[in-house]
Amino acid sequence: MLGVVHKLDVAGQEIRQHLTNVSQRLSLKKEFFPIPDINVLHAAPDSCIYASQSRSHDVADQQIEAALEGYRCKCSFQLVPASFFTKSRINSEKASLHKEDITILSLDDLVYSVREHGDIIPLRSGIFSPANRRIRRAMACVMECLNTKRPVSNHQNRWEDGIDRYHFQKLRKNLTSVTFVSSWGDGMRESMITKGKEEWSGDCHATLHFGPPGLLSTPSDTNEELNWKEEAQRICDQSNLTSLTGRSRGVKFVVFNSNSTEFGHRERGNDDCVVHDDLWITMRNREPVPEVFSVSLVPPVEKLSQVNVKVQYRKSSVAFQHPNAGVMLTSLQWILNTLSQLARDSVSCNSEELSALEKPRLLELYCGCGAHTIPIAKSSILSQIVAVELDERLVTACRNNCILNDCLYEEGKARSETDCYVTKVSVVKEDAAVWAKNTLMSNNKQNTATAQSHSIGEYFTSFDILLVDPPRDGLDKAVCDLALKGRFQHIIYVSCGRSALLRDLDILCIGGFDVAALAVIDLFPGTDAVESLVHLRRRL
C-alpha cells in the first residue's frame, strides 16, 4: 500500500517526466514547452461534507463515526453465510472469519464479503472503512435486520436452528449481494432538520440482488410479492434507507422509506431512484467575473464580502456519480478557479467590462449528471455551455438538474434580467467521438447551414474552452482531433486513468498545446488511483 504523499509524488513525477520527453521531442522543432510544477491537492475535509456532528450515544455508532476515513458513496458486497467461512478449504487468514465474529455469528448468519484476487474475504465486524458515514451506518442496520432471529420460547437466550428462525425469511431467500449508493454529503435538508431527525438526512439507497430462481419463486405470485414488500418496508424503515430495491432477472420491486415518499425520489423521465445533494459555491467579486473561494456540501456562513450560490443535484442511483465526495469538491474548486482565471484574463485583455455573451464559451464532453456543469453555469463565469453525455440516464439527470437550477438553454427563449448571473446549458445526448467527428465534418464542409442535427452547426463549433472528464480509457482519437482542430484556446482535462492521460497529453502537446497547470489528488486512499487535473493552453 502506498503512502499518500509518496503516491501523489510518484504520479506527478511520472506525468512531468512524460511531459519532459514530449518537450525534448518538440525542442527539435524549436518549440518552447515549459513544464509546470505539480500541485498536490487534498480531498476536501469532512467539515465540507458533513453538516451534522455525531450526537449518537450508541457506542457502536460512535465507533463507526470515529473512523472518518470513509469516502466511498457507492459500495457493493456479497452476502455470504458464516458457514461458508468455516469450511476447511479456506486456508488464508484473510479469507477466514475473525475470531470475534466467530463467537457471535450463527452458521446461517449473513456476512458482508468482498471478492479479492478470486478469494471471498469477509469484512471484519461487518465494517467497510472506505465507505462513507452514511453507508457504514446503513450497512450495520441492514445486517442487524437480516441476522435477527426469533428466540425459542423454552430456551430464553438461545436461537432455534434452521433458516426459518430469521425474521426476514422471504427477503433472505436467494439473496446474494447488496449495493449501497448514498449522497455525497449527509444532506441535512431543512425539512428533515425541523423534524429533528439528523440521522435520516442524506439519501442512501440499497439494492438487494437475488440469484436463481430469483426474487419470487413463482413468477407473478402476488402473495409472495406482498410478503416480500412487507419485509423490505420494515428493513428500509429500520435501517433509515431512502429506498430498498429488490432485483433478480426480469423482476424489480422498490419500497420507499415511510417517512419520505416516492415523490422526489424517482427520476423524471425514467424509473431510477434519485440521490439528492446540495452544494454551495462561495465567491467574491461577482462582476465582471467571480472568483471562487470554496465549494462545500455544508451551507457556508453568510458574509457581506461573499456571495453564496446554491446548487441542487438529483442523481440517478444506478448511473455514474463521483464516488469520492472530497475529491469531487476539490476538483470542482480547481476547475472553477481555473475557468474564472481564464475569464478574468480575457476581461483584462479587453480592458472593458465583459457582457455575459462575451465571456468564454465552453464545450464539455463526458458531462455525466452535470456535477461540474451546473456549478460552472451557476457561477456565471462563462457565456454558454454545451454539455455532451452518452448515457441516457445521465443525460436525463443532467437536463433535470439544469431545470432544477434554472440554467437549461431553451431555444427561442429570450434571456431575462436575472439570466446574467447564470450561464445557460444545452445538454446533448451523443457519443463524444461521434460529436467530435460530426463537428469536424461540418467544419470541413464549411456548410453549417445544411447541418442535419442539433449537434452540428456554427453555433456549436466556436468554443473557447474544452472541458473533458472521460472514463479511465481516456479520449477517443476523434475528440483529440477536435481539440486540436477546433478553436479552443484552453483544455481542462480531468483524468482518472493515468496511462490514457499520458497517451492523450502526447497527442495534445505535440499537436500544439502547452501544459499550463497540473494537479493530482488521492482518488481512492489505500489504492494507487489518482485523479489528475490538467490545464492545457494553445501554444502561441
Ligand X SMILES: C[S@@+](CC[C@H](N)C(=O)[O-])C[C@H]1O[C@@H](n2cnc3c(N)ncnc32)[C@H](O)[C@@H]1O
Instruction: Give Cβ neighbours of residue 131 (< 8 Å, ≥ 6 apart).
Output: 70, 72, 75, 139, 180
When the beta carbons of 189 and 322 are compared against ligand X, the nearer one is 322
When the beta carbons of 366 and 513 are compared against ligand X, the nearer one is 366
Per CB under 6 A, which region of 59-67, 200-208, 383-391, 511-519 contacts ligand X? Answer: 383-391
Instruction: Give Cβ neighbours of residue 22 (< 8 Å, ≥ 6 apart).
Output: 33, 505, 506, 509, 510
Site string for ligand X, 392-421 (x = CB under 6 A): --x---------------------------
Long-range contacts of 265-271 (CB under 8 A, 24+ apart): 265/203, 267/314, 267/316, 267/393, 267/396, 267/397, 267/400, 268/396, 268/400, 269/396, 269/399, 269/400, 270/316, 270/392, 270/393, 270/396
Consult the annotation and say whether 237 binds a ligand.
no
When the beta carbons of 141 and 496 are compared against ligand X, the nearer one is 496
Site string for ligand X, 496-535 (x = CB under 6 A): x---------------------------------------
- Going through 161-306 in order, the beta strands assigned E by DSSP cover 175-182, 204-210, 243-248, 251-256, 274-284, 291-296
When the beta carbons of 135 and 394 are compared against ligand X, the nearer one is 394
What residue type is assigned to position 331 of the chain?
S
When the beta carbons of 151 and 471 are compared against ligand X, the nearer one is 471
Consult the annotation and say whether 50 binds a ligand.
no
Q: Measured from the CB of residue 454, what is the shortest distance to ligand X in angstroms?
A: 15
Q: Is residue 371 near ligand X by the rule CB under 6 A?
A: yes
Q: Measured from the CB of residue 433, what is the shortest distance to ligand X in angstroms?
A: 6
Q: Is residue 372 near ligand X by the rule CB under 6 A?
A: yes
Q: Measured from the CB of residue 394, what is the shortest distance to ligand X in angstroms?
A: 5
Per CB under 6 A, which region of 65-73, 178-186, 253-261, 469-477 contacts ligand X? Answer: 469-477
Consult the annotation and say whether 469 binds a ligand.
yes
When the beta carbons of 243 and 324 are compared against ligand X, the nearer one is 324
Question: C-alpha angle 262/267/270, rounded to 5°?
Answer: 115
Q: Is residue 378 near ligand X by the rule CB under 6 A?
A: no
Q: Among 531, 535, 536, which Cα is nearest to 40's?
A: 531
Q: Measured from the CB of residue 34, what is the shortest distance to ligand X in angstroms?
A: 28
Q: Which of 368, 375, 486, 497 binds ligand X (CB under 6 A)?
A: 368
Residue 288: asked if its preceding bond is cis (omega within 30°), the reply is yes
Q: Is residue 320 near ligand X by the rule CB under 6 A?
A: yes
CA dist., res. 63 & res. 53, Å (int): 14
Per CB under 6 A, which region of 175-183, 188-196, 410-418, 467-475 contacts ligand X? Answer: 467-475
Q: Is residue 366 near ligand X by the rule CB under 6 A?
A: yes
Q: Is residue 493 near ligand X by the rule CB under 6 A?
A: no
Q: Is residue 389 near ligand X by the rule CB under 6 A?
A: yes
Give residue for cell 442523481: 315
- State the angle between helix axes of 222-238 and 133-146 in degrees (0 to 180), rounded to the nearest 10: 130
Q: Is residue 219 near ligand X by the rule CB under 6 A?
A: no
Q: Measured from the CB of residue 522, what is the shortest distance to ligand X in angstroms?
A: 16
When the beta carbons of 126 and 323 are compared against ligand X, the nearer one is 323
Contact between 86 and 107 under an 8 Å Cβ cutoff? The reply is yes
> Phi and psi (nearest 5°) for 525?
-50, 140
CA dist., res. 82 & res. 101, Å (int): 9
Contact between 323 and 74 under an 8 Å Cβ cutoff? The reply is yes
CA dist., res. 507 & res. 162, Å (int): 63
Q: Is residue 367 near ligand X by the rule CB under 6 A?
A: yes
Active-site hit among 141, 236, 398, 496: 496
Instruction: Give Cβ neighbours of residue 29 (< 8 Å, ≥ 6 apart).
Output: none
When the beta carbons of 171 and 295 are compared against ligand X, the nearer one is 295
Per CB under 6 A, which region of 164-172, 234-242, 365-373, 404-412 contacts ligand X? Answer: 365-373
Contact between 253 and 281 under an 8 Å Cβ cutoff? The reply is no
> Phi and psi (nearest 5°) for 375?
-60, -35
Q: Measured from the CB of residue 467, what is the shortest distance to ligand X in angstroms?
A: 8
- 73 labelled catalytic: no
Site for ligand X in 424-443 (CB under 6 A): 431-433
- By rule CB under 6 A, what count of residues binds ligand X? 20
Grid cell in block for residue 217: 419463486
Local structure of residue 29 (DSSP, 8 states): T
- β-strand 110-116 against 74-81: which pairing, if any? antiparallel
Q: Is residue 469 near ligand X by the rule CB under 6 A?
A: yes
> Phi and psi (nearest 5°) for 287?
-105, 140
When the beta carbons of 50 and 320 are compared against ligand X, the nearer one is 320
Q: Measured from the CB of residue 373, what is the shortest distance to ligand X in angstroms?
A: 8
Q: Measured from the CB of residue 278, what is the shortest distance to ligand X in angstroms?
A: 16
Q: Which of 10, 347, 390, 516 binds ligand X (CB under 6 A)?
A: 390
Q: Is residue 480 near ligand X by the rule CB under 6 A?
A: no
Contact between 402 and 367 under an 8 Å Cβ cutoff? The reply is no
Contact between 251 and 281 under an 8 Å Cβ cutoff? The reply is no
CA dist., res. 431 & res. 22, Å (int): 29
Interface residues with ligand X (CB under 6 A) are: 320, 322, 366-369, 371-372, 388-391, 394, 431-433, 469-471, 496
Binding residues for S-adenosyl-L-methionine: 366, 389, 469
- Mind telling me the catalytic residues? 496
